[in-house]
Amino acid sequence: MSFYYHEPTSLAEAIALGEEFGADGRFLAGGTDLMIQMRRGKLDPRHVVSLHRIPGLDDVSVDGAVTLGTLVTHRTLERHPAFQGRLRALREGAEVIGGRQVRNVATVGGNIANASPAADIVPVLLALDATVKCVSPAGERAIPLDAFLVGPGETVRQPGEVLTSVRFPALPARSATAFLKAGRRKAMEISVVCVAARLVLDEEGERCVEARIALGAVAPRTSRAQSAERALEGRTPTPEALRQAGRLAAAECRPINDVRASARYRAHLVETLVSRALGRCLERIAEEAA
Amino acid sequence: MAIGTRVVGRSLARVDAAGKVSGTAIYGADFALPGMLHGKVFRSTTPHARIVRLDVARARAVPGVRAVITAADVPAVRYGGAVKDETIFATDKVRYIGQPVAAAAASTAEAAEAALAAIDVVYEPLPAVLDIETALASGAPLIHEAWEGYTAIPILQRQGNVCNRARIVVGDVERGFEDADHVFEHRFRTAVVHQGYTEPRAAVASWDSGGQVTVWSNTQLPFEVQNTLAEILELPPSKIRVVVAGVGGGFGGKLRIGVEHFAAFLARKCGRPVKLLTTSEEELTAAYPRQGALVELKTGVTSDGRIVAKAGRIWLDTGAFAGSGPGVASVATLVLAGPYRIPNLHLEGFAVYTNKTNCGSYRAPSGPQANFAVESQMDIMADALGLDPLEFRLKNIVRDGDEGPTGQVLNAVGLEECLVKAAAAIGWKNRRPEPGRGKGLSCGWWTTTGGSSGVYVKINPDGTVALNTGAAEIGTGALTGAAQVLAEELGVDLGDISIVSADTFSTPFDLGAQGSRTAFAVGNACRAAATDLTRQIFALAATQLGVEPDALALTDKHVVAGDRRLSLADLARLSQQTGGGLIAHGTFIAPPTPYDTKRVEGHVYPAFHSPSFHAHAVDLSVDRETGEISIHKYVVAQDVGFALNPTSIEGQIEGGVSQGLGQALSEEIVYQDGRVLNPNLTDYKMPTTLDVPRIESILVEHPSQVGPHGAKGVGEPPNMEPPAALANAVASATGLRVTSLPITAEKIALGLVDARAT
Amino acid sequence: MTRIALQLSINGERHEVVTEPHRTLLDVLRADLGLTGTKENCLEAECGVCTVLLDGRAVNACILLAAQCQGRDVLTIEGLERDGRLHPLQQAFIDHGAVQCGYCIPAMILSAKAFLDECPAPTESQVREALAGNLCRCTGYQKIADAVLAAARDLAHLR
C-alpha cells in the first residue's frame, strides 16, 4: 500500500479534501478495517484522510436522545455510564469485538461505514431506530440506519462524504434492549450470528407495543426481522410468543454457508438467540420497574 | 519428589526469562544485518498442474529487485526426510496450492512483492487428488508418478499414493474377534491444525568470500537445516553454518527447512545478505501442519470388559510431499494400541499423498488423532457394556513388567496412579451432576525420543560454568532443566551457569528440540560432562593440595581436602597457566529399546523409549441449544518420571492442554478444492484467555531407568488427550457422540436437533 | 512516494523519523528505531504481539500509521524498566513461570500494565478479559494470569 496522508484539523477541511479526492480517497478513523483491507490489497486509495485531529467528533451526548460522534470508540461505549441498565445492549455489542487493543481505537462511525454484515453494534443501533448524519459540500443529511445500509461493505454514503454522528431517540418507559452473539471461541470473534432486540411494553406492562429485532451475519446486511417484530407487537410476550418470534426470525433470515458456520446452524442460532434476547429485554424492563 | 537435591526438582526461574520480559532477547524474526535485502516466495495458486510457462523477465526488471530465481537457477536435487521427493522449487509440476515456484530478493519487502506480481506463469491443470479416499481409489492420479525411483528409507512400504504403510501384528485378531462377546467398529476423522507459534518462520543468510554461508534462523534443529542445505546447495556441511537466533515457539513446525534455503540461494545470487519472514497466510497454507486423519477401529471385548482383540487403521493425509508422514504413520500404530493389554493386534498406519499442503510434525505427531479414536471408542464400549469408563480402563491398562504392542518390556508404568488421581480430582463418582453437564476421561502413553546430544562444559575464570549445547531453547525451558542437572552435579547454583546454544559451527551435534527429548538428553550429556570435568578439577587440585584426587570433595564451589580448600575460580585461573583450561565434552544417546522385530513392518519408530503415561479428566456443561461448551474443571495427571522443575512442567501441561483444546473445539485449516478457506488468524481460531480454563496438574513420578534423576519427556503428551476427554464429556453431558474434530458448537447443536428428530 | 517528517515520542524520548506515510508504527519501531521488543506476526490486529501503549492505552502497532502517533506518547517494552530495575509486572512474570518462548510476552506485559493502571485490584476473570486480545500459544495463560494478579498485589504494596 502506498498513499498520500492528510490530517485535517476541522470538519470543513475534511469535507473539502473529501470532495477533492472523491473515490481516490478514504477516511481513516480507527483503522481496524481500513488498514487490514489495504494490507490485503482489497483497497488501494491514493489518499488517506485521518479524522482524528478534528475536535468534537468523539463526543457522546445524552439528553434523552443519544448522539454518538463518529469517532466514539468501542471502549467509550463499553464504559459510558449511560449504557447500563436498559441501554445495556450498546455496551454488550461494543465489548465483544476484538480485544481491548481493537476496542481502544475502533470507532462507531467506522463500524457503520464499513457495513460488515457481521458488525456487532450495528444491530443494536438498528434496534434503537438510529439515524446517521453525513456531511458533504452539498450539506448535511440525516439517513435512517436501515436505509443507510445497502449490502456487504456498501452504504449510501458517497465518496468524500463524512459520516459525522449517529443518533437514536430516548428509550420510552417500560422498554429495554439486549444483545447476544455466538461464535466459535469466547473472544476475538467475528460473529457467527448476533442479535439485538428492543421491546417496549404498554402502560400496564402487559402487551408489547413495539418490537425491534435486528440480526447480524445472516443476510447481506444487518437487517430487521420484521415478520417476527409484527408478530410480537400488540401481543402479550409469553415464553411461547418469544419462541415463535425466534422461529419467524429464523425463517426470514438469509444466512450463507461459509468457513465460520453453515446456513442451517445460523438459522438455528437465530431462533435461539432471538428468543433469549427478547427474554432479557423483559427481565430488564422488570428490573427497571422494581 | 526432590529429596536430597539442591537444584533439580526445584521450581527455579528459567535462565532466559530476564531478556524475554525486557524485550532484549533477539528472535529469528528480529534478526537483521546491515545492507540486507528482503526476500519473498512466489507460490502455486493451483493444486495440481503442469507448469507450461514460467517467465521471470518482467519481475527481474522491477525497480529495487536484485534477483528472481526459479528451478532453473538451483541444483536439480530431490531432498526430504524418509522419502526424498521434494525439490527446492516446483520443476515441471506443482502439487499443492502454496508450493514454491520462484523467489525474489529486493531492497524492500514491497519491491519483492511487486516482483512476484510481475511473474508470468501458465498452468495446465491436472486432476487434483484432494482427500484420502480419492488418493486410495484404484486408478487415482498419481501425485508422484516417479515415486518408485525416489530414494527412501529401505524399510518403508510404499505404493503409488501411499508413501508408507507401517504395521504391527500380534497374535491373531480374527481368532480374537471370534472369542470376543462383543465387537465394536467405529470411524473417526480429524482436521488439519497448525502449531500456531506466534513467531513466524524467518531466516537471514549471508555468504562470505570463502564460499561459506551463515544462516540465522528460528529453527528447532539447526543440524537438520545444515544437512538439508548441504544437500541442496551441493556443498559440504562445513561450508554451511546455521545459528539459531532465538525461537518464538516451534512445536515441531520449525524442525525442517522453512525459508533458510531461499535466503541462501538469493543471498548467493545477490552478493548481499537476504532475509525472509513468512506471513500468517504462508504459515496457514504452506507450512508443516498436523496431518488430518481418518481412523477405523475394530475392537473385541468380553462381556466382563476385557479387551481381547483390536484391528485398526489410521490414514494420515500427509499432503503433496512425504515429509514426516512415514514416521508419523509408524508412531500412530503405537498410539492406536493404547496403553492396554491386548493379546491380538493388527494395526496399520498409512501416510497418504494428496494435492494439499505437505504436513509435518506437531507436538505428539499422530498422538491426538489416534488417541481421539482409541479413547472415544473406550467410552463407547464401556457405555454399551454398562461399565464405568474408569473401571473399564483400569481393568485393561498395562502394568510394570507387561509388554508393549511391539514386545518392549514396560517398566515405570505410572498409568494407574494417573487415572486414579485424575478421576478423584474431577469428582468422578458424580459423573453427571446436573442435566447438560458431564465428565470425561482419556488416557494414553507416549515416548521420550532418543537421539544423540553433546555438550561442552567449562569452568570460567570466575568460577562460573559455561554450558555449550547444540540444542535450541524453543520455549519449553528444557535447557534450564538441563542446566539444573549440571548445577546439581557440580555443586554450583543455577545462576552460575550461562548457556551458549544451537550453532552448528561451535556447538556439538544435537538431535534437536523435538520429541520431548531435550531436558532428558541434554541433561544426561551434562552429567557425563560433569563427571569428566570433576575428574579434571580433582586432578589439578590434587597437585596443588598435595593429596590424592580421591581424597577430595567438591562442595559449595570449592574443592576441599580436610581443612584446606581451593575455589573453582582459583582452579580455573590456574588451569589457564598449567595448560588447557577445565573443559569437558559429554555425550549421550539413549540405549535402543529392545522389541520384537517380527511384529513390525515398514516401521520407523517401533518402540516408545522411557515411555510416559498420562490421564486427563474434564468436567463441562453444554448449552443444548447453541451447542457451546463451558469447562468447569480440567485435570491432568502425568507420569513425568522425576520432576526436574515442577513449575516448568506445569507450564508444558497448561500450554499443551490449551493447544489440545484448540484442536478439540475450534481449530481447523479448512480446504475446498485444495484451497485453504481460512488462511488468517481471524478464521483460524486459536484459544484466547477466555477459552482456556484453569488446569490442575498432578505430577506423578515413576522414574525412568535412563533419564537424569529418572526424568521422562514431558512436553508433547499434554497435547494428546484433550480431544477424547472432551468428546467423552460431551457424550456424558448430552448423550451425543461426536466422532470428528473439531467438536464445534455447530456439530453439537445440530447433532442434538437431528437426534431429537429420529 | 513522498516521505514525511515525524516527531515521535517513544518511551519518553523524542525521535525524528522521515518515512513514507503508509508505514506503520510497528515498521518504524522495529526497522527504523531498532526497538525489536515489539514483535511482528499476523499484521492484522488478530494476535496482539505488536501491542504498545499509546497515551497509556493498549493498541496494535501493526494497524497504526506512524503518522497518527505524532504528538502522542508511545510506550514499548523497552521503556518499562526504570534505572535498570524491572517493573513489578516483569518480575512477576519471571517469578511465576509465565514466560516460555517469550514472543508474546512484551505485548502481554504492556496490556497488563495498561489494565492494572486503571483496575488495580482485579479478579482473575477480569485479568483474562483484559488480555483476551493477546494470543499465547505456549503457556495456556494460567501462569500469566497468576503473574498479573501477583503484580497487582505488589503494586498495591508499593503505593
Side-chain half-sphere CA neighbours of C106 within 13 A: 33
- Of residues B578 and A114, more confidence is placed in A114
Place of cell 458517497: A158
pLDDT tens by residue, B93-141:
999 999 999 999 999 999 999 999 999 999 999 999 999 999 999 999 9
What is the Cα–Cα distance from B720 to B713, expressed in whole angstroms?
Answer: 14
Place of cell 502481554: C108
Amino acid, res. A166: V
Task: Please provide the size of chain C in residues.
Answer: 159
Q: Which backbone phi and psi does B479 adopt, to 5 degrees? A: -70, -35
pLDDT tens by residue, B580-629:
789 999 999 999 999 999 999 999 999 999 999 999 999 999 999 999 99
Question: B657-682 burial string, b = 16+ CB within 10 Å, else e?
Answer: bbbbbbbbbbbbbbbeebbbebbbbb
- The DSSP call for residue B401 is T
Which cell goes with B640?
513425568
CA end-to-end span of chain A, whole Å?
56
Q: What pLDDT score was predicted for residue A288?
A: 86
Contact B474, C101 (CB under 8 A): yes
Q: Please check whether residues B480 and B344 belong to one and the same domain.
A: no
Q: Please check whether residues B360 and B316 belong to one and the same domain.
A: yes
Contact C77, B23 (CB under 8 A): yes
Which cell goes with B434?
446436573
Which CATH number fits the domain that encloses residue B664? 3.30.365.10
Give the residue from chain A lying closest to C69, CA to CA.
A52
CA end-to-end span of chain C, whole Å?
50
- The DSSP call for residue C2 is -
Rg (CA), chain B: 27
Q: What pLDDT score was predicted for residue B355?
A: 98
Q: Please check whether residues B460 and B444 belong to one and the same domain.
A: no
Work out the pLDDT band at B394, boundaries 50, 70, 90. Answer: very high
Q: Please check whether residues B401 and B468 belong to one and the same domain.
A: no
**pLDDT reading at B1 higher than 60:** no
Last residue of a domain, one of B530, B565, B589: B589
What is the Cα–Cα distance from B358 to B482, expressed in whole angstroms?
Answer: 33
Q: Does any CB of chain C come closer than 8 Å to the CB of residue A98?
A: yes
Rg (CA), chain C: 16
**Fold classification of A4-50 (topology level):** 3.30.43
Which cell goes with B35?
545492507
Is B687 within 8 Å of A273 when comparing Cβ atoms? no
Residue-by-residue DSSP string for chain A: ---EEE--SSHHHHHHHHHHHGGGEEEESS-TTHHHHHHTTS---SEEEE-TTSTTTT-EEEESEEEEETT-BHHHHHH-GGGSGGGHHHHHHHHTSS-HHHHHH-BHHHHHHHT-TT-SHHHHHHHTT-EEEEEETTEEEEEEHHHHEEETTEESPPTT-EEEEEEEPPPPTTEEEEEEEE-SSSSS---SEEEEEEEEE-TTS-SEEEEEEEEESSSSS-EE-HHHHHHHTTS---HHHHHHHHHHHHHH------SS--HHHHHHHHHHHHHHHHHHHHHHHHHHH-
Contact B238, B248 (CB under 8 A): no
pTM for this structure?
0.97
Give the residue from chain A lying closest to B678, CA to CA.
A259
Residue B433 CB coordination number (10 Å): 14
Which cell goes with A155?
452504504
Q: Please check whether residues B465 and B601 belong to one and the same domain.
A: no
Amino acid, res. B384: A
Q: Does any CB of chain C come closer than 8 Å to the CB of residue A99?
A: yes
pLDDT tens by residue, B461-507:
999 999 999 999 999 999 999 999 999 999 999 999 999 999 999 99
Last residue of a domain, one of B251, B277, B303: B277
Q: Does any CB of chain C come closer than 8 Å to the CB of residue A101?
A: yes
Q: Does any CB of chain A come closer than 8 Å to the CB of residue B424?
A: no
Q: What pLDDT score was predicted for residue B599?
A: 98
Is B691 within 8 Å of A186 when comparing Cβ atoms? yes
Domain span at B326: 292-448+596-757
C4, C20, C46: residue with CB nearest A188: C46
> What's chain B's average pLDDT?
97
Is A262 within 8 Å of B685 when comparing Cβ atoms? no
Mean pLDDT for B292-321 is: 98
HEC profile of C82-127? ECCECCHHHHHHHHCCCCCCCCCHHHHHHHHHHHHHHCCCCCHHHH
Which cell goes with B52?
507450461
What is the Cα–Cα distance from B470 to B220, expressed in whole angstroms?
Answer: 10
Strand order of the β-sheet with B612-622 is B437-446, B612-622, B629-639, B695-700
pLDDT tens by residue, A14-61:
999 999 999 999 999 999 999 999 999 999 999 999 999 999 999 999
Verify cis geometry, omega within 30 degrees of 0, for the bond prior to B679: no
For helices B518-545 and B568-578, what crossing angle results, to 10°?
Answer: 80
Neighbouring chains to C with at least 3 Cβ pairs closer than 8 Å:
A, B
Is C140 within 8 Å of B197 when comparing Cβ atoms? no
Sign for the CA dihedral angle at B366, B371, B374, B380 comes to negative
Is C58 within 8 Å of A104 when comparing Cβ atoms? yes
Contact B30, B24 (CB under 8 A): no
Residue B448 CB coordination number (10 Å): 27
Q: Please check whether residues B631 and B705 belong to one and the same domain.
A: yes
> How many domains are contained in chain B?
3
3-state SS assignment for residue C49: coil
Q: Does any CB of chain A come closer than 8 Å to the CB of residue B670?
A: yes
Residue A52 CB coordination number (10 Å): 17
Contact B294, B187 (CB under 8 A): yes
Q: Does any CB of chain C come closer than 8 Å to the CB of residue B33?
A: no
Stretch (H or E) spanning B100: strand B100-106
Amino acid, res. B370: A
E strands, B549-647, in order: 553-555, 558-561, 564-567, 583-589, 600-601, 612-622, 629-639
pLDDT tens by residue, C9-33:
999 999 999 999 999 999 999 999 9
pLDDT tens by residue, B306-320:
999 999 999 999 999
Q: Is A264 exposed, middle or buried (0-12, 13-18, 19+ CB in 10 A)?
A: middle
Q: Looking at the domain assignment, is residue B171 inside a domain?
A: no
How many cross-chain Cβ pairs, B to C, lie less than 8 Å apart? Answer: 168
The closest of A231, A232, A227, A276 to A250, measured between CA atoms, is A227
pLDDT tens by residue, B662-719:
999 999 999 999 999 999 999 999 999 999 999 999 999 999 999 999 999 999 999 9
Taking a contact as any Cβ pair under 8 Å apart, which residues of chain C between 30 and 69 contact chain A?
Answer: 43-46, 48, 51, 54, 57-60, 62-65, 67-68
Residue C80 CB coordination number (10 Å): 21
Which cell goes with B368?
491426538
- The DSSP call for residue B163 is E
Q: Please check whether residues B222 and B323 belong to one and the same domain.
A: no
Start-end ranges of CATH 3.30.43.10 in chain A?
A: 4-50
Show residues of chain B in contact with A269, CB under 8 Å.
Answer: 626, 749
> What's chain C's average pLDDT?
97
Work out the pLDDT band at A281, boundaries 50, 70, 90. Answer: very high
Start-end ranges of CATH 3.30.465.10 in chain A?
A: 60-168
**Fold classification of A60-168 (topology level):** 3.30.465
Taking a contact as any Cβ pair under 8 Å apart, which residues of chain B between 663 and 722 contact chain C?
Answer: 680-682, 686, 688-690, 692, 694-695
HEC profile of B666-690? CCCECEECCEECCCCCCCCCCCCCC
Which cell goes with B631?
469447562
Distance from CA of A184 to the nearest CA of B (A): 6
Q: Looking at the domain assignment, is residue B68 inside a domain?
A: yes
Q: What pLDDT score was predicted for residue B2?
A: 59
Last residue of a domain, one of B247, B277, B307: B277
Sign for the CA dihedral angle at B660, B664, B667, B671 comes to positive
Q: What's the farthest any 2 CA atoms get from each other in chain A?
A: 61
pLDDT tens by residue, B403-436:
999 999 999 999 999 999 999 999 999 999 999 9
Taking a contact as any Cβ pair under 8 Å apart, which residues of chain C between 74 and 103 contact chain B?
Answer: 76-78, 80-81, 86, 90-91, 93-97, 99-103
Q: How far is CA C36 from CA A105, B25, B36, B232, C61, in A?
A: 23, 9, 17, 32, 12
Give the residue from chain A lying closest to B631, CA to CA.
A186
Side-chain half-sphere CA neighbours of B30 within 13 A: 23
Taking a contact as any Cβ pair under 8 Å apart, which residues of chain C between 101 and 140 contact chain B?
Answer: 101-106, 109, 127-129, 131-140
What is the Cα–Cα distance from B28 to B263, expressed in whole angstroms?
Answer: 13
Q: Please check whether residues B45 and B77 belong to one and the same domain.
A: yes
Q: Give the domains, in start order, of chain C with CATH numbers.
A: 4-79 (3.10.20.30), 88-158 (1.10.150.120)
CATH number, domain A175-289: 3.30.390.50
How many cross-chain Cβ pairs, A to B, lie less than 8 Å apart? Answer: 50
Show residues of chain B in contact with C40, CB under 8 Å.
Answer: 29, 200, 277
Amino acid, res. C98: A
Distance from CA of C133 to the nearest CA of A (A): 4
pLDDT tens by residue, A233-266:
999 999 999 999 999 999 999 999 999 999 999 9
3-state SS assignment for residue B379: helix
Q: Please check whether residues B583 and B617 belong to one and the same domain.
A: no
ipTM score here?
0.98
Strand order of the β-sheet with B600-601 is B182-190, B292-301, B307-319, B344-353, B162-170, B600-601
What is the Cα–Cα distance from B292 to B281, expressed in whole angstroms?
Answer: 19
Amino acid, res. B628: E
C97, C105, C136: residue with CB nearest B21: C105
Q: Please check whether residues B111 and B216 belong to one and the same domain.
A: yes
Q: Please check whether residues B461 and B580 belong to one and the same domain.
A: yes
Contact B345, B170 (CB under 8 A): yes
Start-end ranges of CATH 3.30.390.50 in chain A?
A: 175-289
Q: Please check whether residues B85 and B218 belong to one and the same domain.
A: yes
Q: Looking at the domain assignment, is residue B648 inside a domain?
A: yes
Taking a contact as any Cβ pair under 8 Å apart, which residues of chain A between 2 and 61 contact chain B?
Answer: 2
